[in-house]
Amino acid sequence: MLFGTTNYVNDHLTIGGVPVPYLAEKYGTPLFIYDVALMRQQMRAFKEVFTKRKLAHRVIYASKAFCSTAMYQLLQQEQLGCDVVSGGELYAALAAGMDPAMMEFHGNNKSKAELTAAVTAGIGKIVVDNFHEIELLNQVLAEQQTTQEVLFRIAPGVTAETHDYILTGQQDSKFGFDVASGQAEEALVQLLHSPRIKIQGIHFHIGSQIFAATGYEKALERTFNLLTKWRSKFGFTARIVNIGGGFGVRYTENDNPNTPVQLMTQITDTFVQHVQEQHYPLPEIWIEPGRSIVAEAGTTVYQVGSSKHIPGIRQYISVDGGMGDNIRPALYDATYNFVPVELTNEHNLAPQTIRITGKYCESGDILQKSITLPHLAPGDLIAMQSTGAYGYSMASSYNNNPRPAVVFVEDGQDHLVIRRETYADLTRLNIPLPNETQSQGKVGVTDNVRI
Ligand SMILES: Cc1ncc(COP(=O)(O)O)c(C=O)c1O
Ligand SMILES: N[C@@H](CCCC[NH3+])C(=O)O
């Protein structure tokens, strides 16, 4: 299972035309490597689904999947918008030069300060999530003496097939206005009566890592039924229907989804069908893919360290990263595929069934419960595939392990886009107690800056 530009050249795993052993040597491990051509390909493919059908659309990348200055630059090159879900993401996107008009602000508990920052920045749309937010936003707009375009998020009451923790469109959800109990309609009434709020359309997001179109189709049916009702009841016409993200990707050979683009094509057909059947003025279709743009483009390279054989039980192999750079296996029981970085002679040794664990002080720090791979020895490099989404973005410096570096590769060139955290970075927020003499450098630990 090799994605995009990843392949073996002279027995070395190569991404974007750059040999992975060279990258590991240059930047150290663990290392996130992103195949930029594959990210561009995904971005363009989504847009093409709509341009082929001549549908007004917007592809909005969900920053939470992975964001960095370089990622925001790439979005600008490919003319995508982005969503942000915090003041921090807003800050980072603006600092990287994103056009605020191409941005949306999401979240179930946006603070007044965050809303003020978004409005002041001239953000394109705020996706209003709850009644408290309507109140806060009205206050902010009155203080700023301005108006704001919004979408409002409904919980359509659809349960998609995915992990419970990443379901969002069911009735019992913390996100959005519940349709079934009438909250969505009440929210629309409040928004229509808020003179500074300019309501442009509706939003739903049913969850993440979804392979089947069924959930989206049900949600679209409910949405268009509501929209048609609200059109005759309130004279409200949605100019935009945003169907969120959530399109599933391949983590292992067992995932055999439609490609995100095939899924999108099917959903778009349903969208058009509802518009036609209900004689609804054709709204713009907006989508918010995160994972499907970056997941398969990302590879994490680790170096193998210790191993432990428990006769009759299992073989453990530990690598130099783990739950700090990828919490998904521990959090969601997510499974991944691993491939060797170098197809050396040892490759021909009998394959081993191993458990791959990280270096964190937790028994649950398991990257892969059981996998059969060519024999691995200390010092070998190993690549974990499809780690581009919710890997680095959910990374922590638990156990004071520095977060890895991130490198973009394309056309034989490598660009460091996030440097490895240093030991000094890890303590830079610490403030000593007053009147204590700081012991400095006693233990003689040097910083780990390599570059
Ligand atoms: C509102 C919203 N939009 C988009 C996304 C992106 O989802 P995904 O990365 O699965 O495409 C999420 C995350 O689930 C989300 O909450
Ligand atoms: N972090 C999740 C997805 C959450 C989506 C955000 N609403 C994952 O790794 O699968």
Distance from C-alpha of 349 to C-alpha of 400, rounded to nearest angstrom: 36
Give yes or no for residue 129 CB within 6 A of ligand 1: no
| Catalytic choice (9, 95, 282, 361) | 361
Cβ pair 32, 387 in contact under 8 A: yes
End-to-end alpha carbon distance in the chain: 32
Residues 6 or more apart from 8 whose CB is under 8 A from it? Answer: 14, 343
What is the full per-residue pLDDT of the chain (451 aa) written as tens digits?
A: 898 999 999 999 999 999 999 999 999 999 999 999 999 999 999 999 999 999 999 999 999 999 999 999 999 999 999 999 999 999 999 999 999 999 999 999 999 999 999 999 999 999 999 999 999 999 999 999 999 999 999 999 887 666 666 666 677 889 999 998 999 999 999 999 999 999 999 999 999 999 999 999 999 999 999 999 999 999 999 999 999 999 999 999 998 878 878 889 999 999 999 999 999 999 999 999 999 999 999 999 999 999 999 999 999 999 999 999 999 999 999 999 999 999 876 656 778 999 999 999 999 999 999 999 998 999 999 999 999 999 999 999 999 999 999 999 999 999 999 999 999 999 999 999 997 665 555 555 666 655 4
Ligand 2 center–CA 166 separation, angstroms: 6
Q: How many CA atoms lie within 13 A of 353 on its CB side?
A: 7
DSSP type of residue 102: G
Q: To which residue do tokens 């009147």 refer?
A: 435
pTM of the model: 0.95
Ligand 2 center–CA 163 separation, angstroms: 10
CA distances to 100, 163, 179 from 206, in Å: 25, 12, 13
**Residue 314, token pair as written in the block:** 């299992």
Q: What would the DSSP string read from start to end of 140-183?
A: HHHHHT--EEEEEEEE-----SS-GGGB-SSSS-SSSEETTTTH
Q: What are phi and psi of 159, to 5 degrees?
A: -105, 110
361 an active-site residue?
yes
Ligand 1 center–CA 167 separation, angstroms: 10
Q: Which atom of ligand 1 is nearest to the CA of 293?
A: 11
- DSSP bridge partners of 308: 316
Give yes or no for residue 205 CB within 6 A of ligand 1: yes
Distance from C-alpha of 428 to C-alpha of 91, rounded to nearest angstrom: 20
Give yes or no for residue 208 CB within 6 A of ligand 1: yes
Q: Which atom of ligand 1 is nearest to the CA of 209?
A: 10
- For ligand 2, residues with CB inside 6 Å are 64, 166, 168, 208-209, 328, 390
Nearest to 67, CA basis, from 416, 421, 390, 405: 390
The predicted pLDDT at position 451 comes to 45
Domains and CATH numbers, the chain: 7-30+298-387+404-427 (2.40.37.10), 34-293 (3.20.20.10)
Distance from C-alpha of 233 to C-alpha of 317, rounded to nearest angstrom: 63
